[in-house]
Structure 1
Amino acid sequence: MVAARAGTPAGSTTQTAPRPNPQWIETTEETPSQIVLAFDDNRLASQLFGHYGQNLALIERRLEIVAEQRGNHVTLEGPREACEQARHVLETLYARLKKGVELLPGDVEGVLREAAAQGFLFEFDPATKKQSFDEIQLRRRPVRARTAAQDAYIRALKRHTLVFGVGPAGTGKTWLAVAYAVHLLERRVVDRLILSRPAVEAGERLGFLPGDMKEKVDPYLRPIYDALHDLMDRAFVERALTSGEIEIAPLAFMRGRTLANVCVILDEAQNTTSMQMKMFLTRLGENSHMIITGDPSQVDLPPGQTSGLAEAVTLLKDVEGVEVCQFHAADVVRHELVGRIVAAYDRKAAGATEAPPR
Structure 2
Amino acid sequence: MESAFTIVVPDTDVLSRLCGTNDCNLRLIEEHLGVPVFTRGNELSVSETDPDVHRRFKYIIDRIVDEVANGNEADDQMVYSILNVSPADSADSSLSARDMHDFFVRTSISVPGTVHRVYPKSKNQAELVNAMRSADMVFCLGPAGSGKTYIMVAEALNLLLSRKKSKIILTRPVVEAGESLGYLPGDLEQKISPYLRPLYDAMESFISKDVVRKFIEAGVIEIAPLAYMRGRTLSDAVVILDEAQNTTCRQMKMFLTRMGEGSKVFITGDITQIDLPKHTQSGLVHAVEILKNIDGIRIIQTEASDVVRNALVKKIIQAYEKYE
TM-score after normalising by structure 2 = 0.86
CA pair 306-126 structure 1, distance change in 2 beyond 3 A:
closer
Other structure's SS at 1:338 match:
helix
Q: Output one character per residue of 1:313-339: Cα deviation in whole Å (capped at 9) or x when no partner.
A: 111111111110000111112211211
Partner of residue 172, structure 1: 147
- Aligned residue pairs, count: 316
Unmatched 5+ stretches in structure 1: 1-5, 8-31, 350-358
Change (3 A) 1:70 1:126: closer
- Does the 8 A contact of 2:178 with 2:276 survive in 1? no
Deviations 1:49-108 (A, max 9, x none): 356655434434433445223354221333223212212212333444456644444543
Alpha-carbon spacing, 1:243–1:38, altered in 2? closer, same or farther (3 Å)? same
Q: Which residue of 2 aligns with 1:355?
A: none
Are residues 1:155 and 2:125 paired?
no
Alignment of 1:197-276 (within 5 A): 197-202=172-177, 207-213=183-189, 215-276=190-251
1:87 aligns with 2:58: yes
- How far apart are 1:196 and its partner, in Å? 0.5
Asked if residue 305 in structure 1 is aligned to residue 276 in structure 2, the reply is no
Cα separation, 2, equivalents of 1:125 and 1:269:
36
Identity of aligned residues (%): 38
Q: Distance in 2 between matches of 1:69 and 1:126?
A: 25
CA distance in 2, matches of 1:318, 1:327: 19
Asked if the contact 1:118/1:130 (under 8 Å) is kept, the reply is no
2:118 matched to 1:143?
yes
Deviation, 1:293, is 0.5
Q: Distance in 1 between matches of 2:315 and 2:97?
A: 34
Q: Distance in 2 between matches of 1:265 and 1:124?
A: 32
2:81 paired residue among 110, 132, 135: 110
Q: What's the CA shift for 1:46?
A: 4.9
In 1, the alpha carbon distance for the partners of 2:245 and 2:49 equals 45
Deviations 1:115-136 (A, max 9, x none): 358749xx98799766231112
Q: Between Structure 1 and Structure 2, whose CA radius of gyration is higher? A: 1
Higher helix proportion (structure 1 or 2): 2
Equivalent residue number for residue 74 of structure 1: 44
Q: Normalized against structure 1, the TM-score is what?
A: 0.78
- Distance in 2, matches of 1:162 and 1:53, equals 41
2:289 maps to which of 300, 311, 314: 314
The CA deviation at 1:297 is 0.6
> Which whole-Å CA distance do the structure 1 matches of 2:99 and 2:72 have between them?
27
**Equivalents in 2 of 1:117, 1:227: separation in Å?**
33
Once residues 66 and 126 of structure 1 are traced to their aligned partners in structure 2, the CA distance between those partners, rounded to angstroms, is: 23
